[in-house]
Structure 1
């Protein structure tokens, strides 16, 4: 008997959990006019601003794991909504720096509180945010996130016979 017949693979479970989380956050922040991706961007931007940074779109893409082109699209939408300001980077004429507007900071703080309550609910079965099982899960997830993944060359994959 192989592992596949015993239940879902870890990859499937990670995907399902990420989809569950994305949908839950989308629904939770929708009343604030945000999507999950926009929330990820503004929450990360607020954290970087609190550290004294005014990040470029590229730096924000690196922080969030989102594609730079997608960050640019999100930043334009958030700028149109009055939540983010985009300005040329004085150190790099090709780069654009992002910052939250006062309204953007307020919406982001509210969204963070909402998502924090959602996270508490998700982690309750593991003993909550401060639970030992949550600590282990966080450590294991960090290891997986730090593992580089390269797409396999289709010509190197074994063929079925």
Structure 2
């Protein structure tokens, strides 16, 4: 027997919202891949560079955030490092740990990537401030559950 929560999750409105979220995600990824390609980056390279532009991170934490194996992260960082977009440095808190960090050029490219994402910015700009605030609250609530 289904619980009230399960029944509520399967109603038509919920299913439509799930489909719309899926479409938003698909369009965002397509736009992100296109923006990355302009900089001759893969989507994974661009995502990792975006994370590193915010703060230096150890490889294990990068792997967790990207939901992949640490060996994959090592290869991505190697390719970014070869292009001068990232570097490895010792962790000041534990010199045995290496941090990956964006270089100045890497931060510039990451900023350019964020600014070129049309799908996310153009439709949102069409919403009133209050609508964007409501959307932010709802999305945060969904992610906190």
Which SS does the other structure have where 1:126 is aligned? Answer: coil
Q: Paired residue for 1:38?
A: 45
TM-score w.r.t. the length of structure 1 is: 0.65
Q: Paired residue for 1:26?
A: 33
Which SS does the other structure have where 1:33 is aligned? Answer: coil
In the alignment, structure 1 residue 97 sits paired with structure 2 residue 99: yes
Where does 1:80-159 land on structure 2 (aligned, <5 Å)? 80-89=82-91, 91=94, 93=96, 95-115=97-117, 117-127=118-128, 131-147=129-145
C-alpha deviation, 1:145, in angstroms: 1.8
In the alignment, structure 1 residue 66 sits paired with structure 2 residue 66: yes
Q: Flag the structure with higher helix content.
A: 2
Which SS does the other structure have where 2:87 is aligned? Answer: strand
Which SS does the other structure have where 2:122 is aligned? Answer: helix
Q: Which has the higher contact order (CA 8 A, sep 6+)?
A: 2
C-alpha deviation, 1:45, in angstroms: 1.7
1:73-123: CA deviation from partner (whole Å, max 9, x where unpaired): 432332233211123435163x430111232222223223223x5432131
C-alpha deviation, 1:60, in angstroms: 3.9
Name the count of aligned residue pairs: 133
Aligned-residue CA RMSD in angstroms? 2.7
Q: Structure 1 pair 118/10, CA: closer, same or farther in 2 (3 Å)?
A: closer
